Amino acid sequence: MHNRGWRSVYCVTKRDAFRGTAPINLTDRLHQVLRWATGSVEIFFSRNNAILASPKMKFLQRIAYLNVGVYPFTSVFLIVYCFLPALSLFSGQFIVQTLNVTFLSYLLAITITLCMLAMLEILPFGH
């Protein structure tokens, strides 16, 4: 809708307006997250993605929609992040053998980028 020029407005309604049912077990929750992720990936790879959007969309809207479209791919990094400490414990070796300035500068750049992206989550386009 933003791609076609529609504008967002905040709507304050009564509390009961959006009450619904939540998943009650892990299987239902995983199916719900899978549906959300599938929809985000389908939009990301379609012609309606934030990169190819019309000039009517503002820059921050593009970034917010791009964040939602790329979000399912972050699960790969999350899985690696979760398994690396266990791998270090079982192998007996630390993952990073030496810390040099190049590695620390990459780490600083990634941290600053993630902090800036987290600040964009304040926008109403987040997930």
Which tens digits make up the pLDDT trace of 18-51?
666 778 888 988 898 889 889 888 888 888 787 8
CA distances (Å), origin 125, targets 6, 39, 50: 14, 15, 12
Q: Quick: pLDDT tens for 103-118.
A: 888 889 998 888 887 7
Residue-number span of the structural domain to which 114 is assigned: 15-120
Domain annotation covers residue 101: yes
Q: What is the pLDDT of residue 127?
A: 47
Cα 6 to Cα 26: distance, rounded to the nearest angstrom: 37
Domain annotation covers residue 87: yes
Domain annotation covers residue 111: yes
User: Total domain count for the chain?
Assistant: 1
Domain annotation covers residue 5: no
Domain annotation covers residue 6: no
Domain annotation covers residue 57: yes
Domain annotation covers residue 125: no
Domain annotation covers residue 50: yes
Q: What is the pLDDT of residue 18?
A: 61
Q: Is the pTM of this model over 0.85?
A: no
